[in-house]
Amino acid sequence: MILVTGAGGNVGRAVAALLPDARPLDRRSGADLARPDTLTEALQDVETVFLIWPFLTSDGAGATLAKIAEHARRVVYLSSSAVRFGADTDPITRLHADLEAAVRGSGLDWTILRADTFASNALGWAGQLRAGDTVRGPDSAATAVIDPADVAASAVRLLTDPRPGTTQTVTGPEVLARADQVAILGAALGRQLTFEPTPYDEARAQLTADGRPAALVEALIGSAERRPRSDLITTTVQDLTGRPARGFRAWADRNAAFFS
């Protein structure tokens, strides 16, 4: 039995769909990763856990992993490719670095799946693009943006064909800045779109005014402001799934309806 955490999110939902016999764990299940005592029923007969950590700190991760280790034998943890730059780059990278360390020290057979920037982050622009042709927001360094469907397919391979003790890094096929993504999205929509960078302090103030929690605001802005450019492009999606990673245009074509 495979337990899929985060089954209500982009990657977890896709993993659960590809593994119909797996046990999905989402908000409706009544189990909560922050409360290990609620996981007992969900972990019954489970051998492998796909772990997506949904919190902004690693607090409680050790207790949750200890609970998992009471029942399961293996864990595949979804992390970030930015961890290779060091834990102090930004709050989100620090979180993933801390979780990786906790997973490695859990006593479980572990595999780390590091993913680059998700193409689905662009869904955050949908409201602006329904209202106009300009995306405004904080800029960030270019990375090899990856389709969440490719992350999910790679995760499924690691869950069903174990590669314990390894770190697998999946990326998209091309390095893209946010302006590049906006232009590609415009081509998919048949519109001329523009990206207008917002100063970080202004973006921070706007997110705060919108009522976002302070920790989330600092995580989002810190990630945009401090994460370095990455020119890394891997063949891991091809190696794991047998087909090459899909580009941002393919993701935009599939999801165009969200922006209109």
pLDDT digit string (tens) for 136-186? 999 999 999 999 999 999 999 999 998 999 999 999 999 999 999 999 999
pLDDT, residue 86, reads 83
DSSP annotation of 42 reads T
Q: Check residues 203 and 88 and name the one with the higher pLDDT.
A: 203
Determine the angle formed by the axes of helices 214-226 and 91-104, rounding to 10 degrees: 100
User: DSSP letters along 154-192, please?
Assistant: HHHHHHHS--TTEEEEE--SS-B-HHHHHHHHHHHHTS-
CATH class of 2-259: alpha beta
In this prediction, residue 30 has a pLDDT band, given cuts at 50, 70 and 90, of: confident
In this prediction, residue 27 has a pLDDT band, given cuts at 50, 70 and 90, of: confident
Sorted by where each begins, the domain ranges of the chain are 2-259
pLDDT, residue 260, reads 86
pLDDT above 90 for 111: yes
Element (H, E) at 203: helix 200-209
Segment 52-85, tens digit of pLDDT: 999 999 999 999 999 999 999 999 999 999 999 8
pLDDT above 80 for 7: yes
pLDDT, residue 28, reads 80
In this prediction, residue 188 has a pLDDT band, given cuts at 50, 70 and 90, of: very high
pLDDT above 80 for 104: yes
pLDDT above 90 for 227: no
